[in-house]
Each structure stands twice: as structure tokens, then as C-alpha cells.
């Protein structure tokens, strides 16, 4: 899915099994080499294609992985969802590519 494509509803984003959601959206999921415990993942949008790449650290619980992946996708796609509690912080980095990092 490109960022400009139709976004899913919040209910669909939260209720669809994550592997199915990632497939539906055409998101590329990759393991992140970042091992810092304060890094929870990032969505990268290459400027030329607009496709989404979700990169997540390995070794996290299934609940953490699922929750953070859905939240980052919601942020990248502009789907309104409640914010994450402290200490989670979402940062947007506008540059040659846009990243949403948690």
C-alpha cells in the first residue's frame, strides 16, 4: 500500500490478524538491527514509491510486537487511534523519507 492509498478503518486496523493486515496493506515487514530497548520500531516511506516498510526489533513479546506494529501503521496511514501511554513517544522525521518511530 502506498501512503496515498485508501486507509483502513480503525476497527479493521485493530481487529484484522496482523499477518493478514500486513498482506492487505502491501507492507514490507523487516527485522530491525537496532537492539536499543528504547526502540520499538519504525515505518519508513520511501519517497519514490510511497510504499510502507515496517521495521521492528526482534526478541520482543508477541503482544508488544502486535500492539506497536498496529500503532505505527495507524500513525503512518493517518488512522485515528488513541495515543500510546508514556514512556512511548512517536517521532516524525521529514526528509528524503518519512519515518514514524516509536
Which tens digits make up the pLDDT trace of 10-57? Answer: 999 999 999 999 999 999 999 999 989 888 999 887 767 778 899 999
Does pTM surpass 0.85? no
Which tens digits make up the pLDDT trace of 60-102? Answer: 999 999 999 999 999 989 899 998 888 888 887 765 544 555 5
- What is the Cα–Cα distance from 12 to 38, expressed in whole angstroms? 28
Q: For residue 54, what are the β-bridge partners?
A: 29, 43
Return phi, psi of residue 94, to 5°: -75, 125
Residue 87 has a pLDDT of 81
- What is the Cα–Cα distance from 58 to 30, expressed in whole angstroms? 10
Residue 71 has a pLDDT of 94
Amino acid at each position: 500500500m502506498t501512503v496515498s492509498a485508501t486507509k483502513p478503518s480503525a476497527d479493521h486496523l485493530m481487529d484484522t490478524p496482523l499477518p493478514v493486515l500486513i498482506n492487505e496493506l502491501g507492507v514490507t515487514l523487516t527485522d530491525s538491527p537496532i537492539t536499543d530497548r528504547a526502540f520499538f520500531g519504525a515505518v519508513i516511506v520511501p519517497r519514490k514509491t510511497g510504499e510502507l516498510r515496517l521495521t521492528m526489533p526482534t526478541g520482543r513479546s508477541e503482544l508488544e510486537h502486535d500492539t506497536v506494529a498496529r500503532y505505527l501503521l495507524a500513525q503512518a496511514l493517518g488512522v485515528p487511534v488513541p495515543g500510546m501511554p508514556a514512556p512511548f513517544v512517536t517521532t516524525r522525521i521529514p526528509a528524503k523519507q518519512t519515518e514514524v518511530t516509536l
